[in-house]
Amino acid sequence: MMTLRRADERGHADHGWLDTHHTFSFADYYDPRHGGFRSLRVINDDVVAPGAGFGSHPHRDMEIITYVLKGALAHRDSMGSESVMRAGWAQRISAGSGIFHSEYNASEKDPVHLLQIWIVPDRKGVTPRYDEKSFAGAAAGAWHLIASPDGRDGSLAIHQDASLLLAKLERGLKMDRAIPAGRHAWVHVAEGAVVLNGETLHAGDAAALEGGSAIQLEGSEPSQVLVFDLN
């Protein structure tokens, strides 16, 4: 079974410096039908104006993954981590027992477009940690593991039985992936347009699929798709 979540159904807020869409309930947007999916709690689709950003603020007991789609994002946190991530970079923060961090558009002239993802961890109070990795050169037509519970294949390790995969597609390129029985998948189109199991999805569209089925993707144009494999 596949359940669609269209981009124009998401929560939306325009704060001037931040134009954001919420796939799941977040901040002032609340929808009891869309409070998350399995351990996946947040997908915020953020466009931050030049020179603006999120001032220092706290997090705890959450696995936070940021994926930059366009522009440059400056990060600083209470662990001493400091970085500027550009398009194709993924970042993981295990907030655990508590951290403070800030995120700013590193450019004074161009917006930065990013996805911020929260996954509920399987334990509380872990030692906070930070890591990042570039997927800018990831080839189309292959599954690239961004995050996993065991950090396999050089992925970013998270405290949850969940994996995040990236698929890049060109027009006409097809990719398949089985969903084992007992697992669940959330498919989010980050950029472009694809056909997923016969349904056309555009940027911001998403779908939930249950185990025992399969993900069948075909690119309608150059696209990036995030697939969450969840217990």
Number of domains in the chain: 1
pLDDT tens-digit readout, 113-139: 999 999 999 999 999 999 999 999 999
Residue 85's domain comprises 2-230
Q: What is the pLDDT along the chain (231 residues), one digit of tens a residue?
A: 899 999 999 999 999 999 999 999 999 999 999 999 999 999 999 999 999 999 999 999 999 999 999 999 999 999 999 999 999 999 999 999 999 999 999 999 999 999 999 999 999 999 999 999 999 999 999 999 999 999 999 999 999 999 999 999 999 999 999 999 999 999 999 999 999 999 999 999 999 999 889 999 999 999 999 999 999
Provide the pairing of β-strand 156-157 with 143-148: parallel
CATH of the domain at 147: 2.60.120.10
Instruction: Read off φ and ψ for residue 205, nearest 5 degrees.
Output: -75, 155
The pLDDT of residue 211: 85
Give the C-alpha separation, 180 to 231, whole Å.
10
d(CA 102, CA 48): 13
* Nearest one of 215, 144, 225, 139 to 190, comparing CA atoms: 225
- How do 184-191 and 223-230 pair as beta strands? antiparallel
Through-space distance between the first and last CA atoms of the chain, rounded to whole angstroms: 16
Helix, coil or strand: residue 19: strand
Tell how far CA 216 is from the center of its chain. Answer: 20
Tokens of 99: 């951290």
Are 38 and 94 contacting, i.e. CB atoms less than 8 angstroms apart? Answer: no
**Which residues, in sequence order, are CB contacts of 169 under 8 Å at separation 6+?**
140, 141, 175, 192, 194, 217, 218, 219, 222, 223, 224, 225
Q: Are strands 40-48 and 129-134 parallel, antiparallel or unpaired?
A: unpaired
